[in-house]
A and B are shown apart, each in its own frame.
Chain A
Amino acid sequence: MNAPSPQEFQRQLTRRHFFSRCGMGLGGMALASMLDRSRAFGATPTLENPLAPKPPHFAPRAKNVIYLFMAGGPSQLDLFDYKPKLIDLNGQPIPASFLEGRRFAFMDTSHGTNLLGSRRKFTQHGKSGMWVSDLFPHTAKIVDDITLVKSCAATLFNHAPAKLFMNTGSGQYGRPSMGAWLNYGLGSEAQDLPGFVVLQSGPRGPRGGAVNWGSGFLPTTYQGVPFRGNGEPILNLTTPEGVSAARQRQTLDAIRDLNLSHAMETGDPEINTRIASYEMAARMQTSAPELIDLSKENADTMRLYGVEKDTPSFGRNCLLARRLIERGVRFVQLYHTNWDSHGGPGENLQGDFEKVCREVDQGQAALVQDLKQRGLLKDTLVVWGGEFGRTPMGENRDTTGRNHHIDAFTMWFAGGGTKAGYVLGETDELGFNPVADRAHIHDIHATLLHLVGLEHTKLTYRFQGRDFRLTDVHGELIKKMLA
């Protein structure tokens, strides 16, 4: 016997209710209303699917966000923030006025305070004439599509708390990440994938781990789901060994039917949510492998990103990010490690830094170009940046590297209603402090939310007696970034 269709099973249940289970004071009308509700529960998004799309506060400029997180803190001074004066003063002590009252990581050990000029070659690119160093030859080609913000500022200078701050607006554990906030505020258009997906590349996971994409005090429905670079893309996605696809379907059908029967018995709409979540899980079992299967991408695309079908890499994750937002995923976050450049083993500003630049350059440029030529860039905001930048002073370990710097660093944004070919903010001649248009992380958060149609002061969640926001009690919209 084939399992009955849901409708058929429901009809059988209805009959059963009418003929055998109506003796307990539930009249026919009440029962009918219960059944109606069970059928029509889709009308109540909070019960049926907490990720159902919700209207934004105002017309959005971007529908989706792809966030390229450069974990470890890339050196803006060797990539974007060109400082000839710093090169002139290479090796000189930094004027004391810059250091007064500042705190740095690794304060316990004596690191140099002499200035370190970049050894990289900087040239201007595109119509906008943006300065980019020779480490980012591909990225140099997309400068006319991006807003470069050179005056970013953070609050915390150790990796894990700073990453948390960049993601949640707070260095405290337990706050929701921006991807979770976005899904909480807007829901997701994706029918058969989670609304917030995390992809990782590089030698290790980002410091702090899962809290970076956690949902904090928001329901776990909104947390980021890490897709893995190879093998099974989602934990427990694959049907257990020895269970065929047909068997899995039979299992799912039986679970659905029995759950439905119990939903009728108890009248609890939560069971309907569970039925829906099993159906979504089943669709994910098909859609996630389809997502990571790149065999249908044409050769030009593969060349553009510089990737091979099954080799995990940042470039491959960039291509996957495009495929994810094409399928309606609201927020895709890519982590790439390791940008930490203190000068120690594996972290020097020479070969190691060149290597990590090479790892991301082609993929990130390809992503912007690919989104643009497919007409997706106008609806998709691409964000690039680390948890902080690096000091203008050198730090002496095995080699001379740079320490963490939170007062001025560079991020860039593409598409989604941001200006194209635009540089915001300027730093002093040593690159130590912003001298114009300081953009604190809270302001960047406020702007990011604005671009997707959310007013940052209105996107709140009550927890422990207080209304929490991504921007805490701060944040100003950076109007100059808007196209």
Chain B
Amino acid sequence: MRPTPLLVAAVLLLGLSARAATVDYMRDVKPLLTQHCTRCHSDAKQEGGLRLDTGEFLFAGGDSGDVVVPGRGTDSLLLKVVTGAHRDIPQMPYKKPPLAEAQVAILRTWIDEGASGVPGSEPPGVYTHWSFVPPVRSAPPAVRQKTWPRNPIDQFVLARLEREGIAPSPEADRTTLLRRLSLDLTGLPPTPAEIESFLADTAPNAYERAVDRLLASPHYGERWGRVWLDVARYADSNGYSIDAPRQIWKYRDWVVAALNRDQPFDQFVTEQLAGDLLPQPTVEQRVATGFNRNTQINQEGGIDPEQFRIESVMDRVSTFGSAFLGLTVGCAQCHDHKFDQISQREYYQLFAFFNSTVEEGHGKSSPGGALAFPDELTGKEFEERELEEARGVVERYVGNRGKAVFEWMEAMPAEQRIKMPNTVRGAFGIPWDKQTLPQKRACYAAFNPDDQEFKAANETLTRLEKAPSPVTTLVMSELPVPRESFLLIKGDFTRHGEKVSPGTLAIFEPLKVANPNRLDLARWLFSSARPLTTRVLVNRVWQQYFGLGIVETENDFGTQGIPPSHPELLDWLATELVEQKWSFKALHRTIVLSSTYRQSSHVRPDLEVTDPTNKLLARQSRLRLDGEIIRDVALASSGLLEPKLGGPPVFPPQPDGVMSLGQIKRNWQPSTGPDRHRRGLYTHFWRATPHPALSVFDAPDAFSACTRRLRSNTPLQALTLLNDTQFLEFAQALGQRVGRESKGPLAAQIEYAFRLCTSRSPRTDERDRLVTLFQTIQDSASGEPAARTAEAWTTLARVLLNLDETITRE
């Protein structure tokens, strides 16, 4: 029998197999009622005197009488209220998205067919949200096209496609595959030599070996580290309006190194949340806690520091929620969560875990808030920047108070004047704005010796002036006596509600330890909360490969999120992560080895209506590269890339005037030498004035955790690739590289240039078009033949670096 489209839709929605023909109460109806109705109509709560947690209660009806009239679906009260057709009762579920048409159809069909199948004794349906239930490892389903699947991922994907009657796409060609793998695993394109050897490798496991080679590359850690840094809202400045620079790049390097050594995910997270609380923590484990120090610091004058210290703790709570639980925990800051089972009290219990660290709201350095590396110096360039910054802080501070100091000095009797330090004595009679900074500092120190804020700033400046500054990095460190935490009424830090102590979310088993700390919280993620932690992680990894997650709302696994497109696959991956001892690399390997991953990304007209967003995965997706990687690819293609890993942030050229957009004009002195051509993740990231070539390509702003980058497509991107001096520099280098490395005839040289950018050889029409361009320019340019040729090469290289294909993972 051929199922009707409506029924197909209905069974798909429920994730049931296609053999379902009629509606079954236990299988089809009860889950619907449990999912959508029992929160208000069950044991705990009986709105309108109605319970829907068992069939018996359903037939008993409520204050408005019978809800079901067997045989008459449309006339039944149940149908009227879920469709919004009732005159007095508002549409159900109350203040929630209405049921899908297919779900309504299930209810109607069941009643039309006699509303049968209710067992004599039936366990009540208790509402439990799917993502809170431990993942179940189902056996991969059987499929008809037995040769296609390479691993269980493919069986889950194909089974679904076969139910829909859709064939998967053919495998992408080998060049595309290698480029895809290289970009996905390392963020760099394959070299011409790597392509050649891969194409020549006819061994059956050539692809597997390519995967292993790339996973072993140190650039793997850079590529996937950047993805994690998005979540960690990593930046090299304090944010808010002052946006002073900060040192926390050791944390960035820790992330890259941890991924490169394939640190198991549970340890990776535990060290970031609570490395400082592990027994005898290593330096590395303390560096890892920088995760929670990537909060902004407000150094604006006149603020209440406590307000912004609280803000940073709140940021930790919402980052914890989106990074590990995929829940919008932050919604419970001012009131109980409107949709998920998170109370405001629970929010502040989580808050209490993060509230007892040493730092204060103004970013003053308290002991323990930063880790110093006395044997490592930051280097001259960095020191100068730091010194300039410290000088500015002192200058602004005393500048606002100059008049009072001057008046105090003027009024000082002579006998006191001679007791003043030398520098102060030399400043008598000099108007305030004519005094040098050393004079102002000395005078102010004499004027107000108890000003702690000035003292701290002045000491920092003195220290920097005296000695080269060691590398430091921000870390988490607990106060000896914990700070008290309170529920904040409406999230207002001035309005204390009841006192709260650290505690976890009630949706999972509570912690069984007294006085839990961050370490216990981390362990909770990998015990009670594991259903979410694992699903959320594998889903985020998945979305990097396919553009969309299995759960499209990667940051909302709660009741308002979109349910998974392939629930069994998501659960299989989540359990596989645990089976593979939390290995990231094993997870990557499983995904990229699948046939699903290897499909062609060509758009298929036959899917345009049935699956426009490619949720069913009958093909791969073309994905525009991330901002950093667009530049990395240009650097690699042009041969300029400096592959060095780690170290202080670098300053590649950017257009003039960018830094003046912020409140405090800062200097952007472009790096010289190899640092000019480092990978994008090392570019110094100012939160207030990020490098425009990054933000124009949707790099996150680092104000809060970013779990998925948007991909926009704007004229400003075109202007960047066309006109930015960096990209012109890359184009010139690319042209020169071709001249150096390819001595063949023009067409062959052009082919080589094309391959350097897109990895593949041009099709005839493409090659001809480029040859024409080259010759036109050579003929029309002015100057010596060598200069004309150089101009033709630069132009050709500009074209290639601007191609959509060059900045896209096919």
A residues adjacent to B (C-beta < 8 A): 1, 3, 12-13, 16, 24, 26, 30, 33-34, 37, 50, 103, 105-108, 158-161, 172-174, 194, 200, 204-211, 214, 217, 219-221, 225-226, 228, 231-232, 234-240, 243, 246-248, 250-252, 254-255, 257-259, 261-263, 265-271, 273-274, 277-278, 280-281, 284-285, 344-345, 397-398, 404, 464-466
Residues of B in contact with A, size category: 35 or more
A277-B604 contact in complex given A12-B765, A211-B701, A464-B556, C-beta closer than 8 Å: no
A231 to B655 CA separation, bound complex (whole angstroms): 12
**Closest 7 A-B residue pairs measured CB to CB?**
A465-B556, A267-B603, A160-B241, A173-B703, A281-B718, A106-B302, A105-B302
**Residues of B contacting A174 in the complex (Cβ-Cβ under 8 angstroms):** 701, 703-704
A–B pairs, 14, beta carbons within 8 Å: A24-B170, A107-B302, A158-B298, A161-B240, A174-B703, A205-B661, A220-B698, A251-B799, A254-B769, A254-B773, A258-B803, A274-B804, A281-B716, A465-B560
B537 within 8 A of A: no
- Chain A: CB-nearest residue to B699: A220
Q: Is the CB of B622 within 8 A of A270?
A: yes
Q: Are B399 and A1 in contact (CB under 8 A)?
A: no
Known contacts A1-B776, A211-B701, A240-B725, A262 near B804 by CB under 8 Å:
yes
Evaluate whether A228 and B657 lie within 8 angstroms (CB atoms) in the complex, with A158-B300, A236-B720, A278-B715 already known: yes
Cβ A247 vs Cβ B795 within 8 A: yes
Set of chain B residues within 8 Å of A160, measured between Cβ atoms: 240-241, 298, 300, 663
> Which of A220, A231, A273, A464 is B710 in contact with, Cβ under 8 Å?
A220
Docked Cα-Cα span, A408 to B527, in Å, equals: 53
Is residue B212 within 8 Å, beta carbon to beta carbon, of the partner chain?
no
Could you tell me the distance in whole angstroms from the C-beta of B107 to the nearest C-beta in chain A? 26
Q: Of the candidates B331, B605, B710, which one forms a contact with A34 in the assembled complex, judged by CB atoms under 8 Å apart? A: B605
**Alpha-carbon separation in the docked complex, A211 to B662 (Å):** 10
Cα(A375)–Cα(B808), bound, Å = 47
Residue B728, interface by CB 8 Å:
yes
Chain B positions within 8 Å of A, measured between CB atoms, are: 170, 239-241, 243, 296, 298, 300-304, 322, 328, 330-331, 339, 399-400, 402-403, 433, 494, 553, 555-556, 558, 560-561, 601-606, 608, 622, 624, 655, 657-658, 660-663, 665, 688-690, 692, 695-696, 698, 701, 703-704, 710, 712-720, 722-725, 728, 763, 765-766, 769-770, 772-773, 776-777, 780, 791, 795, 798-799, 802-805, 810
Q: Name the distance in Å between A482's Cβ and chain B's nearest Cβ.
A: 31
CB distance from A437 to the nearest CB of B (A): 25
B660–A205 touching, CB < 8 Å:
yes
- In whole Å, how far is B166's beta carbon from the nearest beta carbon of chain A? 14
A27 closest partner in B (C-beta): B605
Between B296, B624, B710, B715, the greatest number of chain A beta carbons within 10 A of the residue's beta carbon is seen for B715
Distance (whole angstroms) from the CB of A269 to the closest CB of chain B = 7
Instruction: Say whether B777 contacts A247, CB under 8 Å.
Output: yes
**B801 CB, min distance to chain A CBs, angstroms:** 10
Complex partner residue of A465 from B328, B400, B777, CB under 8 angstroms: B328
Interchain CB contact (< 8 A) of A209 among B606, B688, B769, B770 = B688
| Bound Cα distance from A211 to B400, whole angstroms | 27
Residues of B close to A277: CB separation below 8 A? 713-715, 717-718
B718–A280 CB distance below 8 A: yes
Our pick among B240, B603, B712 for the contact of A221 (Cβ within 8 Å) is B712
A240-B339 contact given A210-B688, A270-B622, A277-B718, CB 8 Å threshold: no
| A37 contact set on B, CB distance < 8 A | 605, 608
Q: CA separation between A264 and B85, bound complex, in Å?
A: 48
Bound CA–CA A335/B803 (angstroms): 37
B810 and A266 within 8 A (CB): yes
A257→B362 CA distance, assembly (Å): 55
Question: Are B712 and A268 in contact, with the CB atoms below 8 A?
Answer: no
Provide the residues of chain B in CB contact with A226, threshold 8 Å: 661
Task: List the A side residues contacting B603 at CB < 8 Å.
Answer: 34, 266-269
Chain B minimum-CB-distance residue to A34: B605
In contact, A258 and B799 (Cβ under 8 angstroms) = yes
Which residue of B is nearest A274, CB measured? B804
The CA-CA distance from A173 to B704 in the complex, in Å, is 8
Inter-subunit contact B605/A255 (CB<8 Å): no
Is the CB–CB distance between A255 and B703 below 8 Å? no
Are A237 and B723 in contact, with the CB atoms below 8 A? yes
Give Cα A219 to B711, complex, Å: 7
Q: Given the complex, which residues of A lie within 8 Å of B799, measured CB to CB?
A: 251, 254-255, 258
- Pair A238/B403 contact, Cβ less than 8 Å: no
Do A281 and B722 have beta carbons less than 8 Å apart? Answer: yes
With a cutoff of 8 Å between Cβ atoms, the chain B residues found around residue A285 in the complex are: 719
Across the interface, name the chain A residue whose C-beta is closest to B754.
Answer: A258
CA distance A239 to B603 in the complex (A): 34
Partner of B714 from the list A105, A221, A270 (CB cut-off 8 Å) is A221
